[in-house]
């Protein structure tokens, strides 16, 4: 799978913004929510995470209150100051970039139905955002969002949904909370890493978020279709914000508990396992 891995790593190109007439019909999945920038406090209902939203021609099947009948759709293209019904704080350009939108007009769709008027704003062709109760929710229709349960892609999707909705600092408690998606071998390597001594004046080998390969946490992710061989799988994931897109390939192993993440492979070819062994600076 070496040549396939090279192709996966090389395929991380910027995700195009959706055209104003993009077709939003079909199945989406709510991946994560953030407190809206026009407020300082809002309750994020984690029961929304992982829920499907199906946009049909006349009906929307979704968690309440988004579910509705008599749906009518209208393509939109809005400047930053028009997003979320004009709710972004000043300057709206900066607020929009912080939410993951590229510079310029943002394509999307306006939905009018029995439950009201809903505005969906597209960060890219596979990602759209909407506001509900002072929370901005992200939805994805990338391959992993509708992958078969138990498949390598669905395992990575589940891990990243948890990751994006919880503390992502690479500390022992946070790493332990993600072990349910790890192979036994990777979990042992995590334990060994945190047994090392990191003094207060030293920079640990992993200084950032290894699951997204970033210092500045991305605003969204897209789990792509992977490649599977007996006992092993490679699943590429694109991470993006309002400026850049990068790719990390998740390597999974099949064991007694099914598919589990066994290592991460970064764009330069290095791995998470190698990072665990790096010296302290």
Q: How far apart are CA 252 and CA 254, in angstroms?
A: 7
78-115 residue pLDDT tens: 999 999 999 999 999 999 999 999 999 999 999 999 99
213 within 8 A of 267, measured Cβ to Cβ: yes
Quote the Cα angle for 233-239-241, to 5°. Answer: 175
Can you say how many angstroms the Cα of residue 41 is from the centroid of all Cα atoms in its chain?
A: 22
Can you say how many angstroms the Cα of residue 162 is from the centroid of all Cα atoms in its chain?
A: 10
The bridge status of strand 220-223 relative to strand 258-265 is unpaired
Q: How far apart are CA 108 and CA 24, in angstroms?
A: 8
In sequence order, which residues have a C-beta less than 8 Å from that of residue 144 and are 6 or more positions away? 153, 154, 156, 157, 222, 223, 224, 235, 237
pTM (2 decimals)? 0.92
244-263 residue pLDDT tens: 999 999 999 999 999 999 99
Q: In order of start, what are the domains of the chain with their CATH numbers?
A: 26-141 (no CATH), 144-276 (3.10.450.50)
């Amino acid at each position: 799978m070496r040549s396939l891995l090279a192709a996966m790593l090389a395929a991380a190109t910027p995700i195009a913004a959706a055209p104003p007439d993009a077709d939003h019909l079909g199945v989406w999945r709510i991946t994560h929510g953030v407190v809206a920038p026009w407020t300082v406090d809002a309750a994020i209902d984690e029961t929304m995470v992982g829920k499907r939203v199906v946009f049909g021609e006349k009906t929307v099947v979704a968690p309440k209150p988004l579910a509705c009948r008599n749906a009518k759709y209208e393509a939109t293209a809005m400047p930053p100051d028009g997003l979320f019904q004009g709710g972004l704080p000043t300057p709206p350009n900066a607020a929009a970039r912080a939410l993951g939108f590229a510079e310029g007009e943002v394509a999307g769709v306006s939905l009018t139905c029995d439950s009201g008027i809903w505005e969906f704003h597209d960060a890219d062709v596979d990602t759209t955002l909407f506001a509900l109760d002072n929370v901005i929710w992200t939805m994805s229709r990338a391959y992993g969002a509708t992958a078969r349960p138990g498949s390598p892609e669905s395992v990575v999707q589940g891990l990243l949904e948890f990751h994006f909705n919880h503390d992502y600092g690479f500390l022992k408690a946070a790493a332990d909370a993600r072990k349910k998606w790890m192979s036994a071998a990777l979990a042992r390597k995590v334990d060994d890493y945190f047994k090392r001594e990191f003094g207060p004046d030293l920079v640990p080998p992993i200084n950032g978020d290894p699951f997204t390969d970033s210092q500045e946490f991305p605003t969204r992710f897209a789990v792509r279709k992977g490649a599977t061989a007996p006992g092993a799988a490679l699943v590429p994931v694109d991470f993006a914000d309002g400026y850049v897109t990068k790719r990390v390939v998740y390597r999974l192993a099949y064991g007694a508990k099914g598919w589990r993440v066994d290592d991460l492979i970064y764009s330069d070819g290095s791995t998470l396992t190698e990072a665990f062994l790096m010296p302290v600076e």
